[in-house]
Amino acid sequence: MSTATATDSAAPAAVRPARPPYKVTGRRVLRSEWAKLWSLRSTWITLGLGLLFLIAFGLISAAHYKSSYDGGHLRPDDANSTALGISLFGTNFAQLALGVLGVLVTAGEYSTGMIRSTLAAVPRRLPVLWSKAAVFGAVALGVSLVGVFVAFPIVSGIVSGTPAALSFSHAGVVRSLLGAGLYLGLVGVIGTALGALLRSVAGGISVLVASLMLVPGLISLLPTSWQDDISPYLPSSAGEAMFSLTHDATTLSPGAGLLVFLGWTALALAGAAYRLVRTDA
């Protein structure tokens, strides 16, 4: 008698390929910060305002200068104006828009609590700060360069035939326009550093406005000899030296202004990095 033995041979389960371990790299952190930046509505609005300030205020200033010149009632303060200075009139307003957005990029995450998720994904912490500063600094630089290089030729056309007329071929014009764009880009980086240092939107904006606009006014109350020693090294004065067409004994050269402003930027980033590493989110 033959006995048939039935053997259930179960097919081996399909072996799924092992998923490679997740690694935090600088490139991935940069991509993450880039995605977060453009996912915010405030980014589009504030960058648009910064670009609008750069172009619109320059054109308004140029139209006012042209009208005053044609009418024969040019003010003494405008007698030495140039197309470059007129086209960069909106820089003071654009720096606030870009600086405030820089504060929001970092301090906004602390106010919403999202920073905990960010630091959980990037435990080393410092790459988060460097990536935020690099991404927003590059964006602010790009927007600023577009603004100044669009505003200048239009302003030059408006004031042509006046003493303020200049063109791209004039010595120092391109350098000044690049300097203005770089200055605004660095203002954005300082804003991100202040947001990370103070972890408060209101606090970061207050310190930013005070540093760029209020402190220079307070310095003007000091004795003249003190003003001459201190004023050129303030962030606003050093930044202005980066894009001024002419300089005198009381102002820094473009190169010196850039170095001083880079020093202020590095100081803000160093303070933010120290607090990020030393204290909890």
| Residue 64 CB coordination number (10 Å) | 14
Residue 71 confidence class, pLDDT cut points 50, 70, 90: confident
Strands (E) across 26-151 are located at none
The amino acid sitting at 185 is G
Query: Cα dihedral angle (246, 102, 131, 277), rounded to 10 degrees?
Result: 110
**DSSP-based three-state secondary structure for 37:** helix
Q: Is 6's pLDDT higher than 70?
A: no
Residue 83 confidence class, pLDDT cut points 50, 70, 90: very high
Per-residue confidence (pLDDT) for residue 16, from 0 to 100: 58
254-280 confidence digits (pLDDT tens): 999 999 999 999 999 999 999 999 887
How far is residue 205's CA from residue 135's CA, in Å, rounded to a whole number? 19
| Residue 86 CB coordination number (10 Å) | 28
- The residue extents of the domains of the chain are 26-278
Nearest to 85 by CA among 162, 30, 137, 5: 162
How far is residue 176's CA from residue 196's CA, in Å, rounded to a whole number? 30
Average pLDDT over residues 223-243: 89
pTM higher than 0.85 for the full model?
A: yes
Q: Do 238 and 257 contact (CB within 8 A), yes or no? A: yes
C-alpha count within 13 angstroms, C-beta hemisphere, residue 221:
4
Q: Do 106 and 136 contact (CB within 8 A), yes or no? A: no
Nearest to 58 by CA among 125, 128, 157: 157
Per-residue confidence (pLDDT) for residue 22, from 0 to 100: 59
DSSP secondary structure string, 156-209? Answer: HHHTTTSTT---TTSTTHHHHHHHHHHHHHHHHHHHHHHHHHH--HHHHHHHHH
Q: Is 8's pLDDT higher than 70?
A: no
Q: Which of 24-38, 52-66, 147-161 has the lowest mean pLDDT?
A: 24-38
Residue 224 confidence class, pLDDT cut points 50, 70, 90: confident
Q: Is 50's pLDDT higher than 90?
A: yes
DSSP secondary structure string, 86-155? Answer: HHTTTHHHHHHHHHHHHHHHHHHHHHHTHHHHHHHHSTT-HHHHHHHHHHHHHHHHHHHHHHHHHHHHHH
94-140 confidence digits (pLDDT tens): 999 999 999 999 999 988 888 888 888 888 889 999 999 999 999 99
Average pLDDT over residues 26-39: 88
Q: Do 29 and 131 contact (CB within 8 A), yes or no? A: yes
Per-residue confidence (pLDDT) for residue 257, from 0 to 100: 94
Q: Is 7's pLDDT higher than 50?
A: no
Residue 1 confidence class, pLDDT cut points 50, 70, 90: very low
Average pLDDT over residues 190-201: 95
Token pair of 167, please? 């063109």
